Protein backbone atom coordinates (compact mmCIF):
# COMPACT_ATOMS: atom_id res chain seq x y z
CA UNK A 1 0.00 0.00 0.00
CA UNK A 2 1.36 3.42 -0.93
CA UNK A 3 1.94 5.80 1.95
CA UNK A 4 1.93 9.57 1.71
CA UNK A 5 5.19 11.41 2.20
CA UNK A 6 5.57 12.91 5.68
CA UNK A 7 5.32 16.54 4.65
CA UNK A 8 4.84 19.15 7.35
CA UNK A 9 5.56 22.52 5.81
CA UNK A 10 5.02 23.47 2.17
CA UNK A 11 6.11 26.60 0.40
CA UNK A 12 4.22 27.47 -2.78
CA UNK A 13 5.84 29.87 -5.22
CA UNK A 14 3.71 31.54 -7.87
CA UNK A 15 5.83 33.44 -10.38
CA UNK A 16 3.37 35.77 -12.07
CA UNK A 17 3.95 38.11 -14.96
CA UNK A 18 4.22 41.09 -12.61
CA UNK A 19 4.47 39.82 -9.03
CA UNK A 20 5.94 36.70 -7.47
CA UNK A 21 4.08 35.33 -4.48
CA UNK A 22 5.33 32.89 -1.88
CA UNK A 23 2.85 31.17 0.43
CA UNK A 24 3.92 29.20 3.48
CA UNK A 25 1.63 26.40 4.65
CA UNK A 26 2.30 24.30 7.70
CA UNK A 27 0.81 22.05 10.32
CA UNK A 28 -0.67 23.88 13.28
CA UNK A 29 -2.51 21.92 15.96
CA UNK A 30 -2.53 18.80 13.83
CA UNK A 31 -4.00 20.41 10.70
CA UNK A 32 -2.58 22.24 7.72
CA UNK A 33 -2.95 26.01 7.91
CA UNK A 34 -1.97 29.03 5.91
CA UNK A 35 0.88 30.66 7.83
CA UNK A 36 2.21 33.62 5.86
CA UNK A 37 2.72 35.06 2.42
CA UNK A 38 5.26 37.33 0.79
CA UNK A 39 5.15 39.19 -2.48
CA UNK A 40 7.77 40.94 -4.58
CA UNK A 41 8.13 42.11 -8.18
CA UNK A 42 8.87 39.29 -10.64
CA UNK A 43 12.44 39.37 -11.87
CA UNK A 44 12.26 37.43 -15.13
CA UNK A 45 13.00 40.53 -17.18
CA UNK A 46 15.83 43.08 -17.37
CA UNK A 47 17.98 43.74 -15.49
CA UNK A 48 17.71 40.57 -13.36
CA UNK A 49 16.83 37.84 -15.86
CA UNK A 50 16.39 35.45 -12.95
CA UNK A 51 12.98 34.49 -11.53
CA UNK A 52 14.64 33.01 -8.46
CA UNK A 53 15.62 36.51 -7.24
CA UNK A 54 11.97 37.63 -7.02
CA UNK A 55 11.08 34.44 -5.19
CA UNK A 56 13.94 34.94 -2.75
CA UNK A 57 12.61 38.46 -2.06
CA UNK A 58 9.11 37.09 -1.44
CA UNK A 59 10.50 34.36 0.86
CA UNK A 60 12.56 36.97 2.71
CA UNK A 61 9.31 38.77 3.54
CA UNK A 62 7.91 35.55 5.01
CA UNK A 63 11.08 35.13 7.06
CA UNK A 64 10.65 38.69 8.26
CA UNK A 65 7.01 38.18 9.29
CA UNK A 66 7.37 34.73 10.87
CA UNK A 67 10.91 34.97 12.21
CA UNK A 68 11.55 31.59 10.64
CA UNK A 69 14.63 30.99 8.51
CA UNK A 70 13.89 29.50 5.11
CA UNK A 71 16.89 30.57 3.05
CA UNK A 72 20.58 29.95 3.57
CA UNK A 73 22.96 32.90 3.44
CA UNK A 74 23.56 32.38 -0.29
CA UNK A 75 19.83 32.37 -1.03
CA UNK A 76 19.46 28.58 -1.25
CA UNK A 77 16.13 27.28 0.01
CA UNK A 78 16.53 24.95 2.99
CA UNK A 79 14.77 21.65 2.15
CA UNK A 80 13.64 19.63 4.07
CA UNK A 81 12.61 21.34 7.27
CA UNK A 82 15.18 20.79 10.01
CA UNK A 83 14.35 19.82 13.58
CA UNK A 84 15.05 23.35 14.72
CA UNK A 85 12.16 24.50 12.51
CA UNK A 86 14.20 26.16 9.78
CA UNK A 87 13.46 25.42 6.14
CA UNK A 88 10.44 23.74 4.54
CA UNK A 89 9.64 20.15 3.62
CA UNK A 90 8.63 20.87 0.05
CA UNK A 91 8.39 23.60 -2.53
CA UNK A 92 5.73 23.68 -5.25
CA UNK A 93 6.33 26.11 -8.11
CA UNK A 94 3.62 27.64 -10.28
CA UNK A 95 4.37 30.06 -13.08
CA UNK A 96 2.67 32.39 -15.50
CA UNK A 97 5.66 34.70 -15.94
CA UNK A 98 6.56 33.36 -19.37
CA UNK A 99 5.30 34.99 -22.52
CA UNK A 100 2.27 33.26 -23.99
CA UNK A 101 2.74 31.00 -26.99
CA UNK A 102 1.98 32.60 -30.34
CA UNK A 103 -0.16 30.07 -32.16
CA UNK A 104 -1.45 30.19 -35.71
CA UNK A 105 -4.42 27.99 -36.52
CA UNK A 106 -4.92 26.47 -39.94
CA UNK A 107 -7.99 24.41 -40.72
CA UNK A 108 -10.73 23.57 -43.13
CA UNK A 109 -14.04 24.62 -41.63
CA UNK A 110 -14.31 27.60 -39.31
CA UNK A 111 -17.20 26.30 -37.21
CA UNK A 112 -15.99 22.71 -36.90
CA UNK A 113 -12.31 21.80 -36.72
CA UNK A 114 -11.03 25.34 -36.15
CA UNK A 115 -13.45 25.89 -33.27
CA UNK A 116 -12.20 22.70 -31.64
CA UNK A 117 -8.62 23.87 -32.10
CA UNK A 118 -9.53 27.18 -30.49
CA UNK A 119 -10.96 25.32 -27.50
CA UNK A 120 -7.67 23.46 -27.11
CA UNK A 121 -5.57 26.63 -27.44
CA UNK A 122 -7.74 28.44 -24.88
CA UNK A 123 -6.62 25.95 -22.23
CA UNK A 124 -3.08 27.24 -22.06
CA UNK A 125 -1.17 30.52 -22.04
CA UNK A 126 -1.37 31.32 -25.71
CA UNK A 127 -2.47 34.01 -28.09
CA UNK A 128 -3.81 33.32 -31.55
CA UNK A 129 -1.49 35.03 -34.01
CA UNK A 130 -3.70 34.31 -37.03
CA UNK A 131 -6.24 31.93 -38.51
CA UNK A 132 -6.05 30.31 -41.92
CA UNK A 133 -9.30 28.83 -43.07
CA UNK A 134 -10.41 27.08 -46.24
CA UNK A 135 -13.96 27.92 -45.30
CA UNK A 136 -15.53 29.91 -48.19
CA UNK A 137 -17.92 31.55 -45.72
CA UNK A 138 -14.91 33.24 -44.10
CA UNK A 139 -13.79 34.83 -47.36
CA UNK A 140 -11.32 33.33 -49.78
CA UNK A 141 -7.70 33.41 -48.68
CA UNK A 142 -5.23 32.67 -51.45
CA UNK A 143 -2.22 30.45 -50.82
CA UNK A 144 -0.08 33.53 -51.18
CA UNK A 145 -2.00 35.30 -48.44
CA UNK A 146 -1.74 32.23 -46.23
CA UNK A 147 2.03 32.05 -46.65
CA UNK A 148 2.34 35.78 -46.10
CA UNK A 149 0.26 35.54 -42.90
CA UNK A 150 2.59 32.87 -41.54
CA UNK A 151 5.73 34.80 -42.48
CA UNK A 152 4.44 38.09 -41.05
CA UNK A 153 2.65 36.91 -37.92
CA UNK A 154 5.74 34.96 -36.81
CA UNK A 155 3.96 32.23 -34.83
CA UNK A 156 5.92 29.88 -32.60
CA UNK A 157 3.53 27.07 -33.36
CA UNK A 158 1.17 26.28 -36.23
CA UNK A 159 -1.73 23.96 -35.42
CA UNK A 160 -3.16 22.30 -38.50
CA UNK A 161 -6.58 20.71 -38.14
CA UNK A 162 -9.21 19.49 -40.56
CA UNK A 163 -10.76 16.36 -41.94
CA UNK A 164 -12.50 13.72 -39.86
CA UNK A 165 -10.56 10.48 -39.43
CA UNK A 166 -10.65 8.85 -42.84
CA UNK A 167 -12.25 11.98 -44.34
CA UNK A 168 -10.87 14.86 -46.42
CA UNK A 169 -7.27 14.48 -47.59
CA UNK A 170 -6.30 16.79 -50.44
CA UNK A 171 -7.44 20.12 -48.93
CA UNK A 172 -5.78 19.18 -45.64
CA UNK A 173 -2.52 18.36 -47.40
CA UNK A 174 -2.72 21.67 -49.23
CA UNK A 175 -2.91 23.43 -45.86
CA UNK A 176 0.13 21.47 -44.73
CA UNK A 177 2.07 22.37 -47.88
CA UNK A 178 1.21 26.06 -47.45
CA UNK A 179 2.24 25.98 -43.80
CA UNK A 180 5.54 24.32 -44.69
CA UNK A 181 6.18 26.91 -47.36
CA UNK A 182 5.43 29.68 -44.86
CA UNK A 183 7.87 28.12 -42.41
CA UNK A 184 10.55 27.98 -45.09
CA UNK A 185 10.35 31.78 -45.37
CA UNK A 186 11.35 32.23 -41.75
CA UNK A 187 14.96 32.02 -40.56
CA UNK A 188 15.73 28.52 -39.26
CA UNK A 189 16.25 29.51 -35.63
CA UNK A 190 12.89 31.34 -35.51
CA UNK A 191 10.92 28.81 -37.52
CA UNK A 192 7.64 27.64 -35.94
CA UNK A 193 6.90 24.02 -35.11
CA UNK A 194 3.85 22.32 -36.59
CA UNK A 195 1.30 20.30 -34.68
CA UNK A 196 -1.00 18.22 -36.85
CA UNK A 197 -4.31 17.39 -35.17
CA UNK A 198 -6.40 16.57 -38.22
CA UNK A 199 -7.37 13.44 -40.20
CA UNK A 200 -5.34 10.70 -38.48
CA UNK A 201 -4.94 8.79 -41.76
CA UNK A 202 -2.72 11.59 -43.09
CA UNK A 203 -0.08 11.65 -40.37
CA UNK A 204 2.70 10.01 -42.36
CA UNK A 205 1.96 12.06 -45.47
CA UNK A 206 2.02 15.24 -43.37
CA UNK A 207 5.47 14.41 -41.99
CA UNK A 208 6.67 13.59 -45.52
CA UNK A 209 5.18 16.77 -47.02
CA UNK A 210 6.76 19.07 -44.46
CA UNK A 211 10.14 17.36 -44.74
CA UNK A 212 12.93 19.29 -43.06
CA UNK A 213 11.19 22.64 -43.40
CA UNK A 214 9.81 22.48 -39.84
CA UNK A 215 9.59 20.24 -36.80
CA UNK A 216 6.32 18.27 -36.88
CA UNK A 217 4.38 16.78 -33.98
CA UNK A 218 1.21 14.80 -34.49
CA UNK A 219 -1.59 14.25 -32.06
CA UNK A 220 -5.21 13.06 -31.92
CA UNK A 221 -7.65 14.56 -34.36
CA UNK A 222 -9.61 17.37 -32.66
CA UNK A 223 -12.66 16.27 -34.70
CA UNK A 224 -12.46 12.51 -35.29
CA UNK A 225 -16.14 12.63 -36.27
CA UNK A 226 -18.13 15.66 -37.46
CA UNK A 227 -20.17 15.73 -34.26
CA UNK A 228 -17.44 14.61 -31.87
CA UNK A 229 -14.92 17.04 -30.43
CA UNK A 230 -11.73 15.70 -28.91
CA UNK A 231 -9.41 18.60 -28.06
CA UNK A 232 -7.61 16.88 -25.15
CA UNK A 233 -4.73 15.51 -27.24
CA UNK A 234 -3.98 18.88 -28.79
CA UNK A 235 -4.39 20.58 -25.42
CA UNK A 236 -1.87 18.20 -23.84
CA UNK A 237 0.55 18.74 -26.72
CA UNK A 238 0.23 22.53 -26.36
CA UNK A 239 0.77 22.30 -22.61
CA UNK A 240 3.87 20.20 -23.12
CA UNK A 241 5.16 22.62 -25.76
CA UNK A 242 4.48 25.57 -23.43
CA UNK A 243 6.28 23.86 -20.57
CA UNK A 244 9.32 23.06 -22.69
CA UNK A 245 9.61 26.20 -24.75
CA UNK A 246 8.43 28.75 -22.21
CA UNK A 247 8.42 27.68 -18.57
CA UNK A 248 11.68 25.76 -18.74
CA UNK A 249 13.27 28.67 -20.60
CA UNK A 250 12.39 31.24 -17.93
CA UNK A 251 15.73 32.56 -16.69
CA UNK A 252 16.43 31.08 -13.26
CA UNK A 253 13.72 28.43 -13.58
CA UNK A 254 16.29 25.62 -13.46
CA UNK A 255 17.04 26.52 -9.84
CA UNK A 256 13.33 26.55 -8.97
CA UNK A 257 12.84 23.24 -10.77
CA UNK A 258 15.74 21.83 -8.77
CA UNK A 259 14.12 22.88 -5.47
CA UNK A 260 10.60 21.93 -6.49
CA UNK A 261 8.96 18.66 -5.50
CA UNK A 262 6.91 18.66 -8.73
CA UNK A 263 7.53 19.95 -12.26
CA UNK A 264 6.80 23.67 -12.63
CA UNK A 265 3.05 23.92 -13.19
CA UNK A 266 1.26 26.64 -15.17
CA UNK A 267 -0.65 28.77 -12.63
CA UNK A 268 -3.88 28.48 -14.63
CA UNK A 269 -3.69 24.71 -14.54
CA UNK A 270 -3.27 24.75 -10.75
CA UNK A 271 -6.21 27.13 -10.43
CA UNK A 272 -8.32 24.82 -12.60
CA UNK A 273 -7.35 21.88 -10.39
CA UNK A 274 -8.60 23.74 -7.33
CA UNK A 275 -11.94 24.56 -8.97
CA UNK A 276 -12.33 20.94 -10.01
CA UNK A 277 -11.53 19.96 -6.45
CA UNK A 278 -14.09 22.40 -5.05
CA UNK A 279 -16.78 20.90 -7.28
CA UNK A 280 -16.03 17.45 -5.86
CA UNK A 281 -16.49 18.73 -2.30
CA UNK A 282 -20.27 18.71 -2.75
CA UNK A 283 -20.77 17.44 -6.33
CA UNK A 284 -23.34 20.13 -6.95
CA UNK A 285 -25.72 19.77 -9.90
CA UNK A 286 -24.79 23.38 -10.59
CA UNK A 287 -21.43 24.29 -12.03
CA UNK A 288 -18.46 25.61 -10.07
CA UNK A 289 -16.75 28.66 -11.48
CA UNK A 290 -13.41 30.27 -10.74
CA UNK A 291 -12.18 33.62 -12.05
CA UNK A 292 -8.52 34.49 -11.62
CA UNK A 293 -7.90 38.03 -12.79
CA UNK A 294 -4.15 38.50 -13.11
CA UNK A 295 -2.29 41.52 -14.42
CA UNK A 296 -1.43 39.81 -17.73
CA UNK A 297 -3.97 36.97 -18.00
CA UNK A 298 -7.58 36.29 -17.12
CA UNK A 299 -8.36 32.69 -16.28
CA UNK A 300 -11.80 31.11 -16.16
CA UNK A 301 -11.95 27.63 -14.67
CA UNK A 302 -15.15 25.65 -14.40
CA UNK A 303 -16.48 22.26 -13.47
CA UNK A 304 -19.83 20.91 -14.62
CA UNK A 305 -20.84 17.40 -13.60
CA UNK A 306 -17.23 16.73 -12.69
CA UNK A 307 -15.84 17.82 -16.07
CA UNK A 308 -13.20 20.51 -15.74
CA UNK A 309 -12.92 23.42 -18.15
CA UNK A 310 -10.11 25.93 -18.45
CA UNK A 311 -9.84 29.08 -20.51
CA UNK A 312 -6.93 31.50 -20.37
CA UNK A 313 -6.96 34.80 -22.20
CA UNK A 314 -3.38 36.00 -22.31
CA UNK A 315 -4.43 39.16 -24.11
CA UNK A 316 -6.90 40.20 -21.42
CA UNK A 317 -5.21 40.74 -18.08
CA UNK A 318 -6.48 43.29 -15.58
CA UNK A 319 -3.68 45.63 -16.64
CA UNK A 320 -2.94 44.55 -20.20
CA UNK A 321 -6.55 44.43 -21.39
CA UNK A 322 -7.39 48.09 -20.95
CA UNK A 323 -5.57 49.75 -23.78
CA UNK A 324 -6.32 46.86 -26.09
CA UNK A 325 -10.02 46.91 -25.35
CA UNK A 326 -10.16 50.69 -25.66
CA UNK A 327 -8.31 50.54 -28.95
CA UNK A 328 -9.97 47.58 -30.60
CA UNK A 329 -13.50 47.58 -29.35
CA UNK A 330 -16.02 50.32 -29.10
CA UNK A 331 -14.49 52.34 -26.22
CA UNK A 332 -17.96 52.70 -24.71
CA UNK A 333 -17.80 49.01 -23.73
CA UNK A 334 -15.34 50.05 -21.03
CA UNK A 335 -16.45 53.59 -20.29
CA UNK A 336 -20.09 52.56 -19.86
CA UNK A 337 -19.22 50.99 -16.51
CA UNK A 338 -18.01 54.28 -15.01
CA UNK A 339 -20.16 56.23 -12.55
CA UNK A 340 -18.62 59.49 -13.79
CA UNK A 341 -17.89 60.91 -17.26
CA UNK A 342 -14.37 60.35 -18.57
CA UNK A 343 -12.80 61.34 -21.88
CA UNK A 344 -11.37 58.54 -23.99
CA UNK A 345 -7.93 60.20 -24.08
CA UNK A 346 -7.84 60.45 -20.30
CA UNK A 347 -8.78 56.79 -19.96
CA UNK A 348 -6.08 55.79 -22.43
CA UNK A 349 -3.46 57.79 -20.53
CA UNK A 350 -4.42 56.23 -17.19
CA UNK A 351 -4.35 52.73 -18.62
CA UNK A 352 -1.08 53.28 -20.44
CA UNK A 353 0.52 54.59 -17.24
CA UNK A 354 -0.69 51.46 -15.47
CA UNK A 355 0.74 49.24 -18.19
CA UNK A 356 4.10 50.93 -17.75
CA UNK A 357 3.96 50.28 -13.97
CA UNK A 358 1.71 47.25 -13.62
CA UNK A 359 2.60 46.60 -9.96
CA UNK A 360 0.96 49.85 -8.81
CA UNK A 361 -2.53 50.12 -7.33
CA UNK A 362 -5.17 52.74 -8.18
CA UNK A 363 -5.56 55.29 -5.41
CA UNK A 364 -7.91 57.83 -6.93
CA UNK A 365 -11.58 56.81 -7.22
CA UNK A 366 -11.66 57.55 -10.99
CA UNK A 367 -8.65 55.32 -11.61
CA UNK A 368 -10.13 52.56 -9.48
CA UNK A 369 -13.46 52.70 -11.32
CA UNK A 370 -11.65 52.57 -14.64
CA UNK A 371 -9.61 49.56 -13.52
CA UNK A 372 -12.76 47.81 -12.36
CA UNK A 373 -14.49 48.67 -15.66
CA UNK A 374 -11.63 47.04 -17.57
CA UNK A 375 -11.85 44.03 -15.26
CA UNK A 376 -15.58 43.65 -16.01
CA UNK A 377 -14.93 43.54 -19.74
CA UNK A 378 -11.86 41.27 -19.43
CA UNK A 379 -13.92 38.76 -17.44
CA UNK A 380 -16.92 39.05 -19.79
CA UNK A 381 -14.75 38.44 -22.87
CA UNK A 382 -12.96 35.50 -21.26
CA UNK A 383 -16.27 34.00 -20.17
CA UNK A 384 -17.56 34.34 -23.71
CA UNK A 385 -14.57 32.34 -24.94
CA UNK A 386 -15.00 29.78 -22.14
CA UNK A 387 -18.71 29.27 -22.67
CA UNK A 388 -18.15 28.04 -26.21
CA UNK A 389 -16.62 24.86 -24.82
CA UNK A 390 -18.79 24.43 -21.70
CA UNK A 391 -21.15 21.50 -21.45
CA UNK A 392 -23.25 22.59 -18.48
CA UNK A 393 -26.05 20.06 -18.99
CA UNK A 394 -28.96 20.65 -16.62
CA UNK A 395 -27.24 23.66 -15.07
CA UNK A 396 -28.06 25.58 -18.26
CA UNK A 397 -31.62 26.71 -17.55
CA UNK A 398 -31.77 29.31 -20.32
CA UNK A 399 -29.66 29.12 -23.47
CA UNK A 400 -28.91 32.85 -23.63
CA UNK A 401 -27.99 33.21 -19.93
CA UNK A 402 -25.21 32.05 -17.65
CA UNK A 403 -25.82 28.53 -16.29
CA UNK A 404 -26.46 27.91 -12.60
CA UNK A 405 -23.15 28.35 -10.74
CA UNK A 406 -22.40 27.68 -7.11
CA UNK A 407 -19.92 28.54 -5.76
CA UNK A 408 -18.18 31.26 -7.72
CA UNK A 409 -14.61 31.87 -6.58
CA UNK A 410 -12.94 35.20 -7.30
CA UNK A 411 -9.18 35.49 -7.24
CA UNK A 412 -6.68 38.15 -8.32
CA UNK A 413 -5.25 41.33 -6.85
CA UNK A 414 -7.81 43.76 -8.20
CA UNK A 415 -10.71 41.72 -6.78
CA UNK A 416 -9.09 40.83 -3.45
CA UNK A 417 -7.77 44.36 -3.07
CA UNK A 418 -11.07 46.14 -3.76
CA UNK A 419 -11.34 48.80 -1.06
CA UNK A 420 -14.87 47.66 -0.20
CA UNK A 421 -16.26 44.14 -0.56
CA UNK A 422 -19.33 45.50 -2.34
CA UNK A 423 -17.15 46.68 -5.23
CA UNK A 424 -15.76 43.19 -5.78
CA UNK A 425 -19.16 41.55 -5.69
CA UNK A 426 -20.76 44.14 -7.97
CA UNK A 427 -17.89 43.72 -10.44
CA UNK A 428 -18.47 39.96 -10.43
CA UNK A 429 -22.24 40.27 -10.80
CA UNK A 430 -21.91 42.67 -13.73
CA UNK A 431 -19.30 40.53 -15.47
CA UNK A 432 -20.62 37.02 -14.79
CA UNK A 433 -24.33 37.75 -14.49
CA UNK A 434 -25.14 34.61 -12.52
CA UNK A 435 -28.73 33.41 -12.09
CA UNK A 436 -30.46 31.60 -9.23
CA UNK A 437 -28.63 31.25 -5.93
CA UNK A 438 -24.84 31.50 -5.84
CA UNK A 439 -22.27 31.77 -3.11
CA UNK A 440 -19.50 34.14 -4.11
CA UNK A 441 -16.13 33.39 -2.51
CA UNK A 442 -13.15 35.73 -2.41
CA UNK A 443 -9.56 34.57 -2.39
CA UNK A 444 -8.41 37.32 -0.06
CA UNK A 445 -4.80 36.13 0.25
CA UNK A 446 -4.22 34.91 -3.33
CA UNK A 447 -4.11 31.28 -2.23
CA UNK A 448 -6.36 29.63 -4.82
CA UNK A 449 -3.73 28.65 -7.44
CA UNK A 450 -1.35 27.68 -4.61
CA UNK A 451 -3.93 25.30 -3.14
CA UNK A 452 -4.50 23.78 -6.58
CA UNK A 453 -0.76 23.20 -6.81
CA UNK A 454 -0.59 21.76 -3.31
CA UNK A 455 -3.50 19.41 -4.02
CA UNK A 456 -1.22 17.50 -6.39
CA UNK A 457 1.39 17.01 -3.69
CA UNK A 458 -0.69 16.78 -0.52
CA UNK A 459 -4.45 16.73 -1.12
CA UNK A 460 -5.17 16.81 2.61
CA UNK A 461 -3.39 20.14 2.92
CA UNK A 462 -5.60 21.71 0.26
CA UNK A 463 -8.78 20.44 1.92
CA UNK A 464 -7.81 21.52 5.43
CA UNK A 465 -6.73 24.97 4.33
CA UNK A 466 -9.92 25.46 2.31
CA UNK A 467 -11.88 24.49 5.43
CA UNK A 468 -9.92 26.89 7.60
CA UNK A 469 -11.63 29.90 6.07
CA UNK A 470 -8.72 31.39 4.13
CA UNK A 471 -11.03 31.79 1.19
CA UNK A 472 -13.77 34.00 2.56
CA UNK A 473 -17.45 34.22 1.79
CA UNK A 474 -17.98 37.46 -0.07
CA UNK A 475 -21.74 37.24 -0.50
CA UNK A 476 -24.67 35.00 -1.17
CA UNK A 477 -26.45 36.25 -4.26
CA UNK A 478 -30.02 35.51 -5.36
CA UNK A 479 -30.87 36.47 -8.91
CA UNK A 480 -34.46 36.04 -10.08
CA UNK A 481 -34.82 35.67 -13.86
CA UNK A 482 -37.85 36.92 -15.74
CA UNK A 483 -39.40 40.01 -17.27
CA UNK A 484 -41.39 42.70 -15.52
CA UNK A 485 -41.85 46.44 -15.41
CA UNK A 486 -39.31 48.35 -13.38
CA UNK A 487 -40.51 48.70 -9.80
CA UNK A 488 -42.92 45.73 -9.97
CA UNK A 489 -42.40 43.33 -7.04
CA UNK A 490 -40.93 40.11 -8.44
CA UNK A 491 -39.68 38.33 -5.33
CA UNK A 492 -40.64 38.10 -1.68
CA UNK A 493 -37.83 37.13 0.64
CA UNK A 494 -37.97 36.12 4.29
CA UNK A 495 -34.65 35.87 6.09
CA UNK A 496 -34.74 33.87 9.32
CA UNK A 497 -31.50 34.52 11.12
CA UNK A 498 -30.02 31.57 12.94
CA UNK A 499 -29.16 33.84 15.83
CA UNK A 500 -32.73 35.02 16.02
CA UNK A 501 -34.75 37.65 14.20
CA UNK A 502 -36.48 37.76 10.89
CA UNK A 503 -36.58 40.08 7.93
CA UNK A 504 -39.24 40.29 5.21
CA UNK A 505 -38.38 42.06 2.00
CA UNK A 506 -40.27 42.70 -1.22
CA UNK A 507 -37.87 43.01 -4.12
CA UNK A 508 -38.89 45.24 -7.02
CA UNK A 509 -37.67 44.52 -10.54
CA UNK A 510 -34.62 46.59 -11.49
CA UNK A 511 -33.31 46.83 -7.93
CA UNK A 512 -30.23 45.60 -6.14
CA UNK A 513 -31.06 44.81 -2.53
CA UNK A 514 -28.41 44.19 0.09
CA UNK A 515 -29.60 42.47 3.25
CA UNK A 516 -27.42 42.18 6.34
CA UNK A 517 -25.86 38.76 6.88
CA UNK A 518 -22.30 39.13 8.14
CA UNK A 519 -19.58 36.50 7.82
CA UNK A 520 -19.89 33.63 10.26
CA UNK A 521 -23.67 33.90 10.48
CA UNK A 522 -26.17 31.67 8.78
CA UNK A 523 -29.79 32.19 7.87
CA UNK A 524 -32.64 30.39 6.21
CA UNK A 525 -33.95 32.13 3.13
CA UNK A 526 -37.51 31.67 2.08
CA UNK A 527 -37.95 32.75 -1.51
CA UNK A 528 -41.31 33.33 -3.15
CA UNK A 529 -40.87 34.52 -6.73
CA UNK A 530 -43.76 35.91 -8.77
CA UNK A 531 -45.27 33.59 -11.36
CA UNK A 532 -43.01 34.44 -14.28
CA UNK A 533 -39.82 34.59 -12.23
CA UNK A 534 -37.32 31.80 -11.68
CA UNK A 535 -34.82 31.71 -8.81
CA UNK A 536 -33.33 28.36 -9.84
CA UNK A 537 -35.49 26.31 -7.48
CA UNK A 538 -37.25 24.19 -10.07
CA UNK A 539 -38.80 26.60 -12.53
CA UNK A 540 -40.77 29.82 -12.94
CA UNK A 541 -42.78 30.77 -9.90
CA UNK A 542 -41.26 28.03 -7.77
CA UNK A 543 -39.89 29.07 -4.44
CA UNK A 544 -38.39 27.30 -1.50
CA UNK A 545 -36.17 27.52 1.53
CA UNK A 546 -32.41 27.50 1.49
CA UNK A 547 -29.83 27.76 4.25
CA UNK A 548 -27.22 30.36 3.35
CA UNK A 549 -24.06 31.71 4.91
CA UNK A 550 -23.17 35.32 5.48
CA UNK A 551 -20.40 37.16 3.70
CA UNK A 552 -18.38 40.34 3.72
CA UNK A 553 -20.95 42.02 1.48
CA UNK A 554 -23.98 40.32 3.04
CA UNK A 555 -26.90 38.80 1.19
CA UNK A 556 -27.59 40.34 -2.19
CA UNK A 557 -30.78 40.11 -4.23
CA UNK A 558 -29.90 41.11 -7.77
CA UNK A 559 -33.22 41.86 -9.49
CA UNK A 560 -31.71 44.07 -12.17
CA UNK A 561 -32.69 41.57 -14.89
CA UNK A 562 -30.78 39.17 -17.11
CA UNK A 563 -29.10 39.91 -19.39
CA UNK A 564 -28.21 43.08 -17.56
CA UNK A 565 -29.07 46.19 -19.56
CA UNK A 566 -27.59 49.59 -18.86
CA UNK A 567 -29.36 52.87 -19.68
CA UNK A 568 -28.24 54.25 -23.04
CA UNK A 569 -28.18 57.89 -22.08
CA UNK A 570 -24.76 58.59 -20.47
CA UNK A 571 -25.82 60.73 -17.52
CA UNK A 572 -28.70 58.37 -16.62
CA UNK A 573 -26.34 55.41 -16.94
CA UNK A 574 -23.67 57.01 -14.74
CA UNK A 575 -26.31 57.83 -12.12
CA UNK A 576 -27.52 54.24 -12.22
CA UNK A 577 -24.01 52.79 -11.86
CA UNK A 578 -23.35 55.14 -8.95
CA UNK A 579 -26.62 54.07 -7.34
CA UNK A 580 -25.66 50.37 -7.62
CA UNK A 581 -22.28 51.14 -6.11
CA UNK A 582 -23.97 52.86 -3.19
CA UNK A 583 -26.46 49.99 -2.87
CA UNK A 584 -23.68 47.46 -2.34
CA UNK A 585 -21.68 49.77 -0.11
CA UNK A 586 -19.05 50.33 -2.79
Question: Applying CB under 8 A, which residues contact other proteins?
Answer: 17, 40-41, 43, 45-48, 50, 53, 57, 60-61, 63-64, 99, 142-144, 147-148, 151, 177, 180-181, 184-185, 209, 296, 320, 343, 345-346, 348-350, 352-353, 355-365, 367-368, 417-420
For other proteins, the closer of residues 102 and 119 by Cβ is 102
**Which of the 8 DSSP states describes residue 563?**
S
Cα–Cα distances in angstroms (integers) from residue 300 to residues 118, 121, 270, 380, 563, in the given order: 15, 14, 12, 10, 20
Give whichever of 365 and 501 is closer to other proteins, judged by the CB atom: 365
Question: Using an 8 Å Cβ cutoff, are 323 and 371 in contact?
Answer: no
Q: CB of 551: closest distance to other proteins in angstroms?
A: 18
Smallest gap from Cβ 442 to other proteins, in A, equals 15
CB of 482 to other proteins, least distance (A): 35
Of the candidates 194, 152, 188, the one whose C-alpha atom is nearest the C-alpha of residue 175 is 194
User: Is the bond preceding residue 563 a cis peptide, omega within 30 degrees?
Assistant: yes
Shortest reach from residue 61's CB to other proteins, in Å: 5
User: CB-wise, 364 or 504, nearer to other proteins?
Assistant: 364
Q: How far is the CB of 103 from other proteins (least distance, A)?
A: 16
Would you say 165 or 248 has its CB closer to other proteins? 248
Cis check: omega of the bond before 80, within 30 degrees of 0: yes
Angle at 435 between CA 434 and CA 439, to 5 degrees: 65
The DSSP code sequence of 389-407 is T---GGG-SSTTSPPPEEE
Whose Cβ is closer to other proteins: residue 361's or residue 564's?
A: 361
Sorted by sequence, the CB contacts under 8 Å of residue 279 that are 6+ apart come out as 287, 288, 303, 306
**Least distance in angstroms from the C-beta of 94 to other proteins:** 18
The number of residues in the chain equals: 586
> Which is nearer to other proteins, 7 or 206 (by Cβ)?
206
Which C-beta is closer to other proteins: that of 130 or that of 308?
Answer: 130
The nearer residue to other proteins, 164 or 427, going by C-beta atoms, is 427
Query: Residue 512 CB, nearest distance to other proteins (Å)?
Result: 19
Nearest to 45 by CA among 359, 474, 496, 468: 359
For residue 363, the minimal CB distance to other proteins (Å) is 4
Eight-class DSSP state of 319: T
**Are the beta carbons of 480 and 508 closer than 8 angstroms?**
no
User: Helices H, strands E: what count in the chain?
Assistant: 17, 22
Amino acid sequence: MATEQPIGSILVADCGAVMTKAVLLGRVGGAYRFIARGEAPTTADAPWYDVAVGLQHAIAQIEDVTGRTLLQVGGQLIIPEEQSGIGVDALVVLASAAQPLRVLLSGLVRDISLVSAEHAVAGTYATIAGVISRDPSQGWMSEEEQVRLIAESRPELICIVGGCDGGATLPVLELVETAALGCALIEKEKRPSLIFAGNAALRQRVVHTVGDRAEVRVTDNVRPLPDQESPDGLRAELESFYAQSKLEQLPGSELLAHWSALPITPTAKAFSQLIHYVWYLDESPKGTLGIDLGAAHTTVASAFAGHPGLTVRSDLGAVSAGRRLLGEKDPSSILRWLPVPMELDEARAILLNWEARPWTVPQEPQELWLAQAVAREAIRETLRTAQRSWQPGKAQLYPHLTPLLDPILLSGGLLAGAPRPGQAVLLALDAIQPIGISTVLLDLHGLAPALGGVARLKPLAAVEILDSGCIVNLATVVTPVGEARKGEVVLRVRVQYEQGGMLDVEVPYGSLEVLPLPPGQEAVLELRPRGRFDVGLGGSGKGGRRRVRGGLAGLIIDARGRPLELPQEPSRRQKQIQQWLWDVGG
